[in-house]
Structure 1
Amino acid sequence: MHPPRPTYIVGIDLGTSHTVAASVGVAGVAADIELLNMAQRSTAGEVISQALLPSVRYQAAPGELGDSWQQPWPPQGADVQAPAVIGRWARDLGAAVPGRLVASAKSWLSHTGVDRTAPILPWGAGDDVAKLSPLAASASYLAHVKAAWDRAHPEAPLHQQSVVLTVPASFDEGARALTLEAAQLAGLPGVQLLEEPKAAFHDWLVLQGEQLAPQLADSRLVLVVDVGGGTTDLTLIRVAKALDGGLPTLTRTAVGEHLMLGGDNMDLALAHQLELAFADEGSKLPAQRFAQLVQRCRMAKEQLLAADAPDHVSITLLGGGSRLLAATQTATLTRGQVQQQVVEGFLPPAQITDLPSKRQGALRGFGLPYPADAAISRHLAQFLSLQAGGALPDTVLLNGGVFHAHALVERLTDLLSRWRGSPVRVLHNPHPDWAVARGAAAYGLARVQAERQAASEVNQPAAQAQKAPAAIKNSIPHIGGGAARSYWLLLPGKKGETPQGLCLLPRGTEEGVRIVLSGRRFALKLGQAVRFNLLANSQSHAPVQAGQIAPLMGDGWVELPPLATVLPAPEGVAAAQVEVQLQACMSEVGTLEVRCVAVQDAAQSWLLPFAVRGAVSSETIAVSADASSAEGQKSLNSLAAKLPEAVALIDRIFGAQAQEVTGKEVRQLRPSLEKILGPRDSWDVGLLRALFDALLSRAKRRRRTADHERVWLNLAGWCLRPGVGAELDGWRITQVWALYAAGLGHAKESANWTEWWVFWRRVAAGLNEAQQMELLEDVADQMQKAVQQTTRSGGKTSHGSYDDMLRLFAAMEAVPWQYRQEMGQWMLQRLKRPDETVQTWWAIGRLAARQSLAANAHRVMPPEAAQEFLNATLAQDWRKNETAMFAVVQMARMTGDRARDLPDEVRAQVLEKMRSSGAPERWIAMVEQVVQMQAEDQKRSLGDSLPPGLVLL
C-alpha cells in the first residue's frame, strides 16, 4: 500500500531559542499559511497555547513537579524517575535552577568537538541531574511539535504530512545528518531540510503577493542576515528581472561559514560585565550561579532593547542552600549598558576591508566553540569582500529575534550603506520570530505548485499550458542556486606538495542531479575500514566541473566529517575488493549523498555515511592542522613503496601459512620494521593505523608462541594508541574488544600479562563505559592479589606488575567519576605505606584531572570531589616529589569551563606553592591560564607519547 497523500505542508523552525511551526494545505495558497499554537505549561497549574515553544528542557528532580509534568503530554524520553518539561514552564524553572536546564541544544548539535549522541546536557550539571544528548534534546522538541500537531489535526498526523525542517545555511553535512536523525527519533522519518535564510526570504516573498515584481524591481543583490540565538547566517541572493514582466529570477549565490554567534553570546557578554557585582573581589561566580546570571541577563536584554524599554532593570541572584534568601544579591543593568555591550560589542564600526580578530575574546563559556571575534560587522565585511565579487548588496532582509532591537537594525544598515556609498534598502520583516517557519511552509507549497505546473505542461498543449494571471498571482518564485558549496575528495599526494582534490559536486548543482565520476575509478575494500576525506568550499567562484582535479589552494576550505565505514564483504569472505566509481548528488532532502557504484554491476552500490557519531570531546584528541588527514594521506603515500614490505614482514610472523621463523626473529619484529619505516616514534597516524589493520587481520595467529603473543600485543597497542583520534577507530576497538573475552593464550607467562595490561592501557581511551567497567573489575581483582605480595618480590605476580595495573586503573576515564573517586581514596590509603610506588601519585593526578584524554568532559571529577586529592598532594614536599607536583598540575589545570575549573582561590594557593617549589614555567602557565599541554608533558600525563599528527586540544 502507498502511504496516504499529505494534505498539509508543515514548516518547522527548530531554533536555538524557540521552535515554531507553520502550515498550509497542499491545495491552498500562500495567504493561507498559519502558525501552529502549541500547548505547553506556563506554571504547575496552567497550560497555554502559543506559537513560540522555547527550545529548552528542564530536567526535574524526582517528585519536584508532582504529576503536572505529564500533561498535556510527556515529552520524549521522560519517565517517572526523570521527569522533564519543555517550553515556557521549563524556561521559567531553569531561570531559578539553571543547572537543570538544557539550552542551546542546536548549538551543541553542530559542535564537532563533542560526542553529540552522548548524554552531556545540561552541561556541567551535577550527577543528581538526569542528562541527555544534544541529539535526544533536539528530538524531544520535535516530538513536542508532533504531539501538538496531532492533537490539533487527529485526521492528519504529522508523520503523514510534507514536513520541511530548517537548518542554518552554515550547518555542515554532519550537523544536517544529525538533524535528520533527530527528526526520525521524533517519529518524522521523511522530512526535507531547508536553509533558514532562504526560508526567511520565502516568507517575505509570499507576503508581497501581486506586488512582488514591483517590490524587487530596483533590487539586484539581496543580503539576508539571520541572527538567531546561537548562529549568524549570511546569504546572498541575486535578483534578475523578468523580461516579460513576470516574476523575477532568484538565485542564491553565496552562504557564509558556520558562525556560532548570536543572542546567546550577547547574554554571555552581559553576564561577564555584571559578574563583578555578584562575585567576591578577584574571584568568579561558581558555574551554577553564573548560569543563573546568564538567564537573568537574557530576560533583561529583551526588556531593555524593546521599543518601549525602561531605563534600567534590576537583576537578582538568589543564594544557595540554607542561605537562599540571606545571600540574595541585586544589581542594576541599564539600557545604556546593554546598548554599549550589544551594539558596540557585536556590531562595532568597521571597514569593508576589516577581518575578524583571531584572538579569543571573553565569550568562553559552557564548552561551546564560540568564534574568537564577537564582532558580527567584521565577519560580515569579510563575507562580502570574498563573495560579492566587487558588487555590494543594495537590499537587505534582517531576520532573528535580536533585530527587535532598533539600535541593532540602525547600526547594521548604516554600515552597509557606508560600505556601498549609498543607502541600502531594508525589506520589511513584520515577524522575525516566525518568518523562518512560515517561509518553510511557503517553500514546500512552491514545490507542490512547481510539480503541478510541470504535470500540466506535460498533459496540455504548450499554448494552453501558459500560466493564467491567477496562477501568477498565487505562485511563489523558486530560489535557485543549487548547492551552496563545491565538494571535493582529497587525493593522496607526495609529501611537501600542495594537496590536490577531485571535484565531486560543483557549486550550484541542483538538488536531485546525480553526478557519476566515470573518469576515475577506485578500488574499494569490502570487509575492511575505508575512508574518503572530503572538503567543501563556499568562497571560490572559479568555475569547476565534476571530476576536475585541482590544487586545494586559497581560503574557504572546510574539512567535512569524513565518509568512513566498513562495508560488508560477501558472505564467508573475510575481505574483498571491488572496482567502483563515485556518484554524488545533493539529495532531495538537502544533504550531500555519496555512493560507490560497482563498475561491473551498476545495480550494486554502497551509500557512504558521514562519520558524525562518537566524536571526541572538546579537550581530546584531534588531527592537528599541520598533520591533518590530508597530511596523513600524503605521508602514507610517501611510504607507499615501503608499506608492502612492512606488511610482508608482519605476514611472515603472523601470516596464515606458518613459516620457519626463530624466536629471535619474532622478538625482533619491531626493530625490523623500524629499519624499513624509520623509528617508531616517527610513525604518523595514517601509517600506524595501516600497520594495526595488518596486525588485526592476522590476530588469530598471535598465540603461536608466547613470543608471538607478547610481540603482537606490544606492537598492536602502539599502533592503535590511544584508541581514538583517527576515523574508524571505533570499529577497530570493536574488533579488539572481541579478543578480550578470549584472554591470553599463554597466561602462565608473567611478561605476557604485562603486555596485556599495557595494551589495554594504551587503547583504553577508545573503550566505552561498559567495556571499561568490565576491565576495571578484572584489574581490581588482580591488583588485590598484587598488593598482597611481599616487598621483596616487588609486588609482582604471575599476572603482571602492580605498577602496570595501577596505570591501567587510572586510564579508565569513561567510568562514572564516583568510581574514580573511590579508586583514588583507596590509593591515598596505600600512600601511607612506605613501600608504595611513586606511580600512585601519577595515577591520582590522572583520576582527578581537569581535562580527560578521550572521555567527554562531563566525565571529569567535579572540583569539590577532587579537593581531597588536591589537599593530600599539597601536603607533599614538591621539591622531593616532582610526580606529586605534576599530579597537582593536572588537578588544577585551567580549562576555561567553570563547571570543571577549581575555584580561583584554590588555584591561587596551588600557584603560590608551585612558585615557591621551583615549578617549571610551563606548568605554572597551565594552572594560570588556558594553554595547550606541551608534548613532553602529554607523554608524562598519558604514559605514552601521542602519535605524530594527533594533538590534545
Structure 2
Amino acid sequence: MTAQPHEPAAGAPTSRYVVGIDLGTTNSALAYVDSKESPWRIRTLPLPQVVAAGEVDDRPTLPSFLCQATAAEQQFNAFALPWSDAPQPWAVGAFARDESSSRPGRVVSSAKSWLSHSGVDRSAALLPWRGDPDVERLSPVDAAAAVLRHLHDVWNHRFPQHPLAEQDLVITLPASFDEVARELTLAAAKQAGLPRVVLLEEPQAAFHAWIDRHRDDWRELVSPGQKILVCDIGGGTSDFTLIRVGENQESGDLEFHRVAVGDHLLLGGDNLDLALARSVEAQLAAGGRLESRQWEALVRSARRVKETLLADNAPESLTIHLPAAGSKLIAAGLQAEVTRTDAAKLLVDGFLPRVDLDAQPQRGQSGFQDFGLPFAADPAITRHLAHFLTCHRHTGDELPALRARPTDAADPARPDVVLFNGGFFASPLLRDRLVEALGEWFTGPDADWTPRVLDSQQLDLAVACGAAYYGMVRRGDGVGITATLARSYYVGVAGPTPRAVCLAPGVAKAGDDFEVSDLEFELTLAEPVEFPIYVSSTRLVDAPGQLIGADPAELTPLPPIRTVLHASRKTDAQVAKVRLHAHLSEIGMLELSCRSVDSQRSWRLQFDVRSTTETDLKPHESSAEGEGFVDDELLTAARAAIEAVFGESAAEPPSKLMKSLTAALDLPKHEWPTSVLRRLWETLMECEPGRRRSAAHESRWLNLVGYSLRPGYGFAVDDWRVAQTWRAVSGKLAFPSSLPESLILWRRLAGGLADGPQQGLAEPLLADVRALRRRYSGGKAKAMSTALDPTRTAEIWRLLGALELLTTTAKTELGDAITELLPKRKLAPRAADMVWTLSRLGQRKPLYGPLNTVVPAEVAERWLQAIMDWAGDPPVAHFAAMQLARRTDDRHRDIAEPRRDAVLAWLRRHEANDHLVQLVETGGALEAQERQSAFGESLPAGLRLSE
C-alpha cells in the first residue's frame, strides 16, 4: 500500500529520531524510532521519576501529576533528578500521583482537562484547584508544560547528542479539542523548550499503533467498505472517531479515511472516580458532605479502588481509609468498605447503561461540579456513542474511494470493527459492556451480531507508539490515514434571524483551500472587525458559501475571529473589500484570512483566545448584534447633538445633551439599544478633546461614555472599545473634580477590563480602605491617596466590588475590612454600598470573571454573618446574602449546609423574595431585575448575557 502524502517540505532537515509523546490526562508516555535502524521499530523510553522522597526509578509511563515540595523537602532536595543538582520544587510522576490522596492540596492533576476548560483563565495560576494556602499555583498551560519539560529532560539525559527539540516530534491530543485548546497545547510545548511539533489526534495515533503491530497481516483483518469505530476513553475525555476503509480506484490499494470525530466530552475515568467517591461519601457522612480535605483524599482513593475492583481477578471488596476531620489529628479516621458487586453496579450500569440507538444525550449542567471542571452533563457514555453513530450514518459516503461500501440490510450507522483505547478499557467489565451495547443496537432479526474487536495491547503506550509511527508516515514510510477536517466551519451573518455561511466543509483534507467567492465584506481599515465563527461536527458536507440557519443544536460558537486591517500606505483607500479564505494546515489547524478583492493584500485572522482563556464569557452570548440599527437619519441627529457639545464649534452646554439625544433618537434613554449606544461611543471618542473645555464637559463626557459602553462586554469588539477608552482616559483627567465620575465609568466598563487595568484601579482605592480601617481600629491614620473619602464616596466601594478579576487575596482583605467597618455609625451612609460590594466580592457565581477568582466558601460564610447582623436596608441585605449563599453544586464554592440552613431561615424570617430563597436552596439563574441589582444598574436594551 502506498503511503498517504504526509511528507515534510522539500529541503527540510531530517533528524535521526522520530518521537511521539502522549500527553495524557492521567498518564503520559514517550515512544521513538531510530531512523538509522533497518528495519526500523518503535521503542518506548523508560521514564525516570521520583517514586518516593529521595528515590528515583524508571517507569514505562509518567503519571501526569505534579506535587509541590514542602520547605523541608526542598531543603533536603527530596525530589532530586539525575540530570539536575538544583533543588526541585515539583515532583512529576508516580510520587505525585501517590501523594494525591494524603496531601491533595499540593498536587496538580488533570491538567489536560483544564486546557479545554473555557470557564477559567487557563493562563492564570489556579492549580491545584483549592490548593493549600502556601502552595505556589500553576496555570493549566504551566502544568502541561511541566509534564512535557520532564519528558524533554529525560530524553536529553538519555540522548545528549540528539536534543529532543531537534528531533521530529509528534504530540497527541483529543480529536475533539477545539482551536483554543490546540493553541494552548502548542504554547505548553513551546514553554517546555519544544518549539517545533506536529499535533495528532489520539484515536488516529491508537489506530496507527494497531497498524504497526500488524505490519504483516493488517490487510487480512480489514476490507474495503468497512467502518472502523475507535473508542478512546481515558482519564479525562471520551473521544469517538470513525475511520472508513476505502480502495484506491487506480492502484487497488486499501486506504484509511478518518471521516468523523465526536463532540468534546469531559467524561472518562475521573468521572467514575467521582461517582464512586460520592457513593462512599453518602455512607460516611450520613447524606451530608465530608470536609474538603477528606473529600479530596476520598476521590484519590476511589481511583485505586475502581481500578482494582473492575479488573480481572478482583477481590470481593476493598476498604477505604480517610483522615480524621478538622484539626483532630489524633482522632480516629473514617473507613468504608466497597464491594466488587456494588462498584460494578454503580460504575458499569451508571456510565454504560443499556439505551436505545436513538437515545439523545441529556443537556444541561453536570451533576459533577467538583474541581471546577465542566464535566459532560450526561454521564451515560453509551448514550453519547449512540448519538454519534446515528449522526454519522452516511458520513464519508460522498468520497469516491468509499462508495464501494457493501449494501446490505445492516443499518449504515453500524461499525464493522471496533478498536478500544485508553485506560478506561483496562477493565474487561467496561469493555465487554460496550461491546454488548453495540451488539444490541445492530442485531438483525435473523441472527445476533457483534462487532469485530481489534486487539488493543498496551493501552497506556499505544498512543505514544502511534504518534511515533505517524512521524515515520510523514517521512513517507508507513501506512497513513487520510484525515478530513471532520468539523465544518461557518461565519455568522447578521440579519433578523441567526444565519451562517460555510467557510470550510468537514470533508476538507490537509492542504485544502477554500474561498467564499460570493460573500464579500466591506471593512474600514484601522478599526477592529469581528467575525462570529461556528463549528459543527455533524454538518460535514455543506459547501463553502452555503447559507444555513444558525441552529444551536448543530452549530457551536467558537471564540470570534478578530483583526485590525491596516493599509500599506497612508495614501491607500481606507476601506477594503475582502473575501474570507480558509486553509487547512498539515497539522489540522484551520487558518483563516481576509483577502482583498482589488489587490494582492491579505490579512491573517486570529481566534480571540482571550475570550476563553481570560474569562468565562462565551462569545456571541448577546442577541444585541441582531437588533439592527436605528434609522441613519436619527443617528445623524444624535451625532450632531454630541458634536454641538463636544465638537470643534460646540455651542450647547453639557446639561442639555441628554435631552437633545432623547429627542434625536425619539426613544427614552433606557430604551436605547446596544447597537445605538456603541455608535454614540464612537462619536464621543471622536470628540474626546472637547471634554477638556470645562469640568462640566468632562463629567458629562465620562458619564455618557460609560453609559454607552456598559457593561464593557456583550457586543462585537467591545474589548477593543474598552481598551481605547482606557488609553484615552486612564491617568489623563483634565479636572480633579471629575474623579468620582471616572470611578463610575470604570465600574460600568469593569467587565471589559483586563486584570492589569483592574489591579491598577484597585491599588490606590485599597490603600484608602486600609487607611480607613486603621483609623477605626485605633491605629495611626494615613492620608488618603486618591483625594476621595470612602466615608463620603459611594463609587469607591462600588468600583472595588465590580473588579471581579482581583485576586482572592485582595478580595478577602477588602471583604474583611467591610465586615469590620459595617457597624460603625459614622459609616452608616455608605453601609448599603459596602454591603453591595460584599455581595460582588463573595458571590458564588461571577458575572463575568473566571471561577478561579471566587473567594473560598469559608470566607463567604464569615461575611454572611456580618450581612445578617446588619440592620440596614432589607432588600440589599437579602440580595447580598443570596449572592454569598447561592447554591452551585460545586462543593468548593458552596457554603456548608448548616450555614445554608441558617441563611434560608433568616431569609424566610425576614420575608425575603421567594426567588432569592430558591436561589439559595436549589440554585438557578438570576432574573432580569436581579441581574441589574448585581451589576448595580440597568443593562442596555436588547443585551442578553448568559450566566
**Both structures adopt the same fold (TM-score exceeding 0.5):** yes
Q: 2:266 is matched with which residue?
A: 260
User: What secondary structure, in the 3-state scheme, does the structure 2 residue paired with 1:951 have?
Assistant: coil
Aligned twin of 2:910: 917
Residues 353 and 821 (structure 1), Cα distance of their counterparts in 2 relative to 1, 3 Å cut: closer
Distance in 1 separating the partners of 2:772 and 2:662: 32
**Aligned partners of 2:913 and 2:603: how far apart in 1?**
54
Going from structure 1 to structure 2, the CA distance change for 1:841 and 1:537 (only over 3 Å counts) comes to: closer
Superposition pairs for residues 201-600 of structure 1, below 5 Å? 201-217=207-223, 220-241=226-247, 247-279=253-285, 281-319=286-324, 322-358=327-363, 360=365, 362-389=367-394, 390-391=411-412, 392-421=414-443, 422-449=449-476, 476-493=478-495, 495=496, 497=497, 499-541=498-540, 543-553=541-551, 555-567=553-565, 576-600=574-598
1:99 alignment partner in structure 2: 105
Please give the alpha-carbon distance, in whole angstroms, between the structure 2 residues aligned to 1:708 and 1:904. 53
Q: CA separation of 1:688/1:365 partners in 2, compared to 1, >3 Å: closer, same or farther? A: farther
Aligned partners of 1:554, 1:834: CA distance in 2, in Å? 53
Equivalent residues of 1:117, 1:133 under 8 A apart? yes
Report the Cα distance in structure 2 between the residues aligned to 1:917 and 1:799, rounded to whole angstroms. Answer: 33
Greater shift, 137-146 or 119-128, is seen at 119-128
Partner Cα separation in structure 2 for residue 341 and residue 354 of structure 1: 21
Q: Contact conserved, 1:219 with 1:394, CA < 8 A, in 2?
A: no
Q: Which moved more, 1:49-58 or 1:642-651?
A: 642-651
Which shows bigger deviation, 638-647 or 247-256? 638-647
Q: Distance in 1 between matches of 2:536 and 2:138?
A: 33
1:616/1:401 Cα in 2 relative to 1: closer, same or farther (>3 Å)? closer
Q: CA deviation at 1:672?
A: 4.4
Q: Which whole-Å CA distance do the structure 1 matches of 2:353 and 2:943 have between them?
A: 39
Cα-to-partner distance string for 1:895-931 (whole Å, 9 max, x where unaligned): 2222222111111111112122212211111111231
Asked if 1:633 corresponds to 2:625, the answer is yes
Deviations 1:358-379 (A, max 9, x none): 3545322111111221000011
Equivalent residues, number = 901
Kept in 2, the 8 Å contact 1:15–1:106? The answer is yes
CA–CA separation in structure 2 for the residues paired with 1:784 and 1:85:
39
DSSP 3-state at the match of 2:607: coil
**Residues 50 and 79, structure 2, Cα contact 8 Å, conserved in 1:** no
Q: Could you say which residue in structure 2 is the equivalent of 1:466?
A: none
* Cα distance, 1:29–1:359 mapped onto 2, change above 3 Å: farther
Q: Contact 1:394 / 1:424 at 8 angstroms: preserved in 2?
A: yes
- Distance in 2 (alpha carbons) for counterparts of 1:136 and 1:387: 37
Structure 1 residue 331: deviation in Å? 0.8
1:668 counterpart SS class:
helix
Of 143-152 and 568-577, more deviation after overlay is shown by 568-577
For the residue of structure 1 that corresponds to 2:20, the secondary structure is strand
Q: Matched residues in 2 for 1:16 and 1:665: separation?
A: 61
Give, in whole Å, the separation in 1 of the partners of 2:99 and 2:634.
60
Q: Which residue of 2 aligns with 1:889?
A: 882
1:113 to 112, 119, 140: 119
Contact 1:824 1:847 in 2 (8 A): yes
Equivalent in the alignment of 2:140: 134
Superposed displacement of residue 690, structure 1? 4.7
Residue 806 of structure 1: aligned partner = 797
SS in structure 1 opposite 2:100? helix
The alignment partner of 1:565 has SS state of strand
Structure 1 residue 571: Cα displacement: 7.9
Structure 2 counterpart SS, 1:237: strand
CA contact (8 A) 2:698 2:734 kept: yes
C-alpha displacement of 1:660? 4.1
- Give how far 1:406 is off: 0.6
Q: State the percentage of identical aligned residues.
A: 36
Corresponding residue of 1:25: 34
Q: More displaced, 142-151 or 567-576? A: 567-576
The alignment yields a C-alpha RMSD, in angstroms, of: 3.2
SS, match of residue 746 in structure 2: helix
Taking a change above 3 Å as real, the CA distance of residues 682 and 311 of structure 1, as seen in their structure-2 partners, is farther
- Provide closer, same or farther for how the CA distance between residues 338 and 756 of structure 1 changes in structure 2, counting only shifts above 3 A: same
1:644-723, aligned counterparts within 5 Å?
645=636, 648-649=639-640, 652-653=643-644, 657-668=648-659, 670-672=661-663, 674-675=665-666, 678-683=667-672, 685=674, 687-723=676-712
Verify: 1:762 aligned to 2:745, yes or no. no
1:744 corresponds to which letter in structure 2?
L
Give the Cα–Cα distance (whole angstroms) in 2 for the partners of residues 529 and 73 of structure 1: 51
Counterpart residue number, 1:470: none
SS in 2 for 1:201: helix
State the SS of the aligned residue for 1:517: strand
Show the 5 A alignment for 1:809-824.
Answer: 809-824=800-815
**Which range moves more in the overlay, 191-200 or 938-947?**
938-947
What's the offset of the Cα at 1:940?
1.4
In structure 2, stretches of 5+ residues that fail to align are: 1-10, 395-410, 444-448, 777-785
- TM-score when normalising by structure 2: 0.89
1:90, distance to aligned residue in structure 2 (A): 1.1
Counterpart-to-counterpart distance in 1, 2:432 and 2:124:
42
Q: 1:884 to 1:203 in 2, by over 3 A?
A: same
**Whole-angstrom CA distance in 1 between matches of 2:507 and 2:734:** 59
Deviates more, 1:24-33 or 1:134-143: 24-33
Structure 1 residues 692 and 200, CA, compared in 2 at 3 Å: closer, same or farther?
farther
8 Å CA contact 2:276, 2:343 repeated in 1: yes
Q: Which moved more, 1:231-240 or 1:941-950?
A: 941-950
Task: Indicate the larger mover: 26-35 or 864-873.
Answer: 26-35
Change (3 A) 1:695 1:592: farther
Q: 2:938 maps to what in 1?
A: 945
- Quote the Cα distance in structure 2 between the aligned partners of 1:921 and 1:110: 37
Q: Which residue of 1 aligns with 2:195?
A: 189
Following superposition, the deviation at residue 559 of structure 1 comes to: 1.2
Distance in 2 between residues matched to 1:79 and 1:875, nearest whole Å: 53
1:179-210 CA-partner distances (Å, limit 9, x unpaired): 11111111222211111111111111121112
CA contact (8 A) 1:352 1:381 kept: yes
Match of 2:812, SS state, is helix
SS at 1:209's partner residue? coil
Report the residue type matching 1:635 in the other structure: E
Q: Distance in 1 between matches of 2:452 and 2:641?
A: 69
* Greater alpha carbon shift after TM alignment, 836-845 vs 898-907: 836-845
* Equivalent in 588, 607, 617 of residue 610 of structure 1: 607
Contact 1:666 1:708 in 2 (8 A): no
Distance 1:244 1:346, change over 3 A: same
Q: CA deviation at 1:63?
A: 3.2
CA contact (8 A) 1:232 1:261 kept: yes
Q: For residues 658-716 of structure 1, what are the alpha-carbon distances to aligned partners after superposition, in whole Å with 9 as ceiling and x for unaligned?
A: 344444553435424642xx445445555544543443454343323334322321222
